[in-house]
Amino acid sequence: MQCCEKTLYHNGRIVTLDAGDRTAEAVLTAGGRIEAVGGAGELRRLGGPRLKETDLDGLVVYPGFIDTHSHPDMLAAWAPYAYCGGTADLASALDVLQRHGREQDQPVPMGYGFDDTAVAEQRGPNLAEMDALFPDRPALLLHISIHAAYVNSRMYGLLGIPPDRPSDNPDAVCENGRPNGLITETLALEALGKLPPVTTTALKQGLLRAVESYNAQGFTACIGGGAGLGGLTPWMVYEALAGLEIEGRLHLHVHMPVFADWFERVLETGLLAGTGSPLLRFHGIKLLVDGSIQAYTAAVPEGYHSRPETRPAPIIPQEELENAVFKAHSAGQQAVIHGNGNGAVEAAVRAVEKAQARCPRRDPRHLLIHCQMASDEQLARMKAVGLWPSFFGLHVWNWGDRHHDIFLGPERAARIDPCGGATRLGLPFSLHADTPVLPQMTMQSIHTAVNRRTRAGRLLGPDQRVRVLDALRAYTTHAAAMCFEEDRRGSIEPGKLADFTFLDADPRAVAPEDINKVNIVSVISMGRPVWGALKD
């Protein structure tokens, strides 16, 4: 019998995040799993003749981080297109889009990441400006939220929207009796479907780059934002991810729901049943209840601070939402529900309440994604029915000043992403960056949950701040439970997978204002180094 090689990581600080929140000086792994945690001397005796030792030289080891909402498949598929975020003005963003589209000779140029309220003009392009960029081909500039886009006349043609007359499509925004270049929600997603099809080979290459960027931010697992969006069918996404896993090149555990339009078809195939493979599980339904606060499409019944007359309703009728949630709930599947505004939160909570009343489940762990404007009363009802929030906490930092001044006003902005409220109720929560809406930035996300400081330094809702431990559990133990992986991931304990994130300092040992200065040094997934390097 051949002995399994064991690895001893020692001379560091092992933060287990187990139930007792214990720490240790060493951890022993074998065959991709944790064998023991404790003192270096005692673990060295368990190592056997083929023991490999890694001196951590003072590094801090946390369980591998878990992202609970992002779109690695979309990030991968958009690799050929222009990133138009971070520009100071509209003209610069349009120049990036035009140059990239022309240089690559793209039949449908697309830019993403554009943030209209972050540029000097405080607006997006109009139809004439989009037509001037590409008079000869359809084009679109995707709003950073992915819930809106700016298009030209040729794209309107592909969408069946005449650009020279009023449209009765509610997602085609009109001005002076004709479409003005802005489309939202369903129409924006339909426009994404007009991009040239991506090949499996190209999608796999894009996924490799996407996963590497996740690993660099400490992630060993993620919950995808839903397969079946923007021209990517669930079958395409599954084939690409499964192919990478078979080839030994998938360095991230992916838990992926499928969008509602595909759910029944995929459910019938059996793909959503069982626990999946070691690195891939398709499970659950993804539902969109509203849009985005910063695109003015989130369901905010009281209206927006700068546009009080704008009061969008949920984008899915309540009965349809309730039927879809019940279908997943009664089939033992997880409902992953997108809801930003308080109107969408209410719709989602009611749907899960009705599903639980008809078919009680003790521990469904349905997820409410973003959950930005939930009240304490809604959070309490969520806890009662097993609906857990994954907060887009980086909104406080990235858009917090604009929520305060433009979108929501001071009072509502102060309780956006209410991590503090969830903590006081004992409701598990997680955090995410919604990549590619924002790039993965784990330490900044943890920093924001603890400090609640905006880009301008404003303290936004001090009562919604949480302890560093709470923010860390949002990326570890709580996140693992949200993808039903708490027996395998989320803490450093014997029998669990050897998923580790190595830091150069302990976020709980530095000053709160310095958390975002802590660096991720290396990442190990199932015992395999996947990012960075440790010295032997």
pLDDT of residue 312: 97
pLDDT of residue 230: 86
**Structural tokens at position 274:** 């069982």
| Rg of the chain, C-alpha, whole Å | 23
Dihedral over Cα of 512, 514, 517, 518: its sign: negative
pLDDT of residue 1: 37
Average pLDDT for residues 212-216, to the nearest whole number? 98
Residue 183 is classified by DSSP as E
Q: Does domain 6-64+495-532 have CATH number 3.20.20.10?
A: no
Domain boundaries for CATH 3.10.310.70 within the chain: 107-193
Q: String of b and e for 186-208 (b: at least 16 CB within 10 Å)?
A: ebbbbbbebbeebeeeebbbbbb
Q: What are phi and psi of 20, to 5 degrees?
A: -95, 0
Helix axes 318-330, 342-358, angle to 10 degrees: 50
Distance (Å, whole) CA 38 – CA 349 = 43
Dihedral over Cα of 297, 303, 309, 312: its sign: positive
User: If we measure between CA atoms, which residue out of 463, 494, 488 comes closest to residue 476?
Assistant: 488
Cα(first)–Cα(last) distance of the chain, in Å? Answer: 27
Distance (Å, whole) CA 9 – CA 45 = 13
Q: What are phi and psi of 219, to 5 degrees?
A: -85, 135
Residue-wise pLDDT tens digits, 11-25? 999 999 999 999 999
Among the four given CATH numbers 3.90.1150.10, 3.10.310.70, 3.20.20.70, 3.40.50.300, the one describing domain 107-193? 3.10.310.70
Residue-wise pLDDT tens digits, 1-14? 355 789 999 999 99
Residue-wise pLDDT tens digits, 172-187? 999 999 999 999 999 9
Q: Note if the pTM is more than 0.95.
A: yes
Please tell me the number of Cα atoms within 13 Å of 423 on its side-chain side: 21
Average pLDDT for residues 269-292, to the nearest whole number? 97
Is the confidence at residue 169, as pLDDT, over 70? yes
User: If we measure between CA atoms, which residue out of 196, 190, 154, 152 comes closest to residue 169?
Assistant: 190
Distance (Å, whole) CA 520 – CA 71 = 22
Average pLDDT for residues 200-229, to the nearest whole number? 98
Q: Report cis status (omega within 30 of 0) of the bond before 196.
A: no
SS3 419: helix
Taking the mean position of all CA atoms in its chain, how far away is CA 314?
A: 21
Average pLDDT for residues 416-425, to the nearest whole number? 98
Distance (Å, whole) CA 260 – CA 263 = 5
Helix (H) or strand (E) holding 505: none
Distance (Å, whole) CA 40 – CA 55 = 11
pLDDT of residue 190: 96
Residue-wise pLDDT tens digits, 493-521? 999 999 999 999 999 999 999 999 999 99
Query: What is the percentage of the chain residues whose pLDDT exceeds 90?
Result: 97
pLDDT of residue 3: 56
Q: Which of 48-52, 154-158, 309-313, 351-355 has the lowest mean pLDDT?
A: 48-52
Average pLDDT for residues 380-398, to the nearest whole number? 98
Domain boundaries for CATH 3.20.20.140 within the chain: 289-466
* Arithmetic mean of pLDDT over the chain: 97
Q: 289-466: what fold?
A: TIM Barrel (3.20.20)
Domain boundaries for CATH 2.30.40.10 within the chain: 6-64+495-532
pLDDT of residue 48: 87
Q: String of b and e for 275-288 (b: at least 16 CB within 10 Å)?
A: ebeebbbbbbbbbb
Residue-wise pLDDT tens digits, 58-105? 999 999 999 999 999 999 999 999 999 999 999 999 999 999 999 999
Average pLDDT for residues 439-454, to the nearest whole number? 98
Is the confidence at residue 193, as pLDDT, over 80? yes
Distances in Å between the alpha carbon of 364 and those of 236, 321, 332, 485, 524? 28, 17, 8, 14, 30
Distance (Å, whole) CA 399 – CA 405 = 10
